[in-house]
Amino acid sequence: MYIMRRKNAALMMMVMVIATGFSGCLGTNDPVTVTCGDDTELVDGTCITKLNDVEFTLQAKEMSFIGVGGSIDGITNPDLIVQSGDRVTITLQMGETNLHDITVEGYDIATEKLSDIDSEDSITFVADTQGEFAYYCSIPGHRAGGMVGNLIVGSAQSGTTIIENIGPAKDVDVENIARDPYDIPGPTGRNASTTVHIYLEAVEVTAELEVGTTFTYWTYNATVPGPMFRARVNDTVVVHFSNQAESMMHHNVDFHAVTGQGGGAEATKTAPGEETTFSFLAMHSGLFVYHCATPDIPTHISKGMYGMIFIEPEVP
pLDDT at 72 over 70: yes
- Among 101, 129, 153, the domain-final residue is 153
Question: Coil, strand, or helix at residue 115?
Answer: coil
Per-residue confidence (pLDDT) for residue 30, from 0 to 100: 58
Distance between CA atoms of 240 and 200, rounded to whole angstroms? 6
123 and 44 co-located in one domain: yes
Distance between CA atoms of 162 and 133, rounded to whole angstroms? 8
Comparing 16-20, 185-189, 277-281, the range with the smallest average pLDDT is: 16-20
CATH number at residue 130: 2.60.40.420
- Among 153, 187, 214, the domain-final residue is 153
| 33 in a structural domain | no
| 8 in a structural domain | no
Higher pLDDT, 165 or 112: 112
46 and 142 co-located in one domain: yes
51 and 128 co-located in one domain: yes
238 and 143 co-located in one domain: no
| 251 in a structural domain | yes
134 and 205 co-located in one domain: no
120 and 211 co-located in one domain: no
> Averaged over 105-116, what is the pLDDT?
94
Considering its fold, how many domains does the chain have in total?
Answer: 2
**Beta-strand (E) ranges in the chain?**
40-43, 46-49, 53-60, 65-67, 80-82, 87-94, 103-104, 109-110, 120-126, 131-136, 148-153, 195-210, 213-220, 229-232, 236-243, 254-255, 275-281, 286-291, 306-312
Per-residue confidence (pLDDT) for residue 25, from 0 to 100: 41
Residues 6+ apart with CB under 8 A from 142: 63, 100, 136, 295, 296, 299
| 24 in a structural domain | no
Closest by Cα among 1, 315, 316, 294 to 141: 294
123 and 221 co-located in one domain: no
| 20 in a structural domain | no
- Model pTM score: 0.64
Element (H, E) at 5: helix 2-26
227 and 298 co-located in one domain: yes
141 and 217 co-located in one domain: no
215 and 300 co-located in one domain: yes
Domain that holds residue 285: 195-312
DSSP assignment, residue 172? P
| 162 in a structural domain | no
Cα distances from 11 to residues 17, 23, 288, in angstroms, run 10, 18, 106
Q: What is the mean pLDDT of the chain?
A: 86
Per-residue confidence (pLDDT) for residue 40, from 0 to 100: 65
199 and 149 co-located in one domain: no
| 239 in a structural domain | yes
| 199 in a structural domain | yes
Categorize the per-residue pLDDT at 10 as very low, low, confident or very high, splitting at 50, 70 and 90. Answer: very low
Comparing 45-49, 192-196, 217-221, the range with the smallest average pLDDT is: 45-49
- Among 153, 183, 211, the domain-final residue is 153
How many Cβ atoms sit within 10 Å of the Cβ of residue 42? Answer: 12
Categorize the per-residue pLDDT at 32 as very low, low, confident or very high, splitting at 50, 70 and 90. Answer: low
303 and 215 co-located in one domain: yes
Distance between CA atoms of 134 and 229, rounded to whole angstroms? 44
Categorize the per-residue pLDDT at 16 as very low, low, confident or very high, splitting at 50, 70 and 90. Answer: very low
Give per-residue pLDDT as tens, 148-206.
999 999 975 444 545 555 678 889 988 899 999 999 999 999 999 999 999 999 999 99
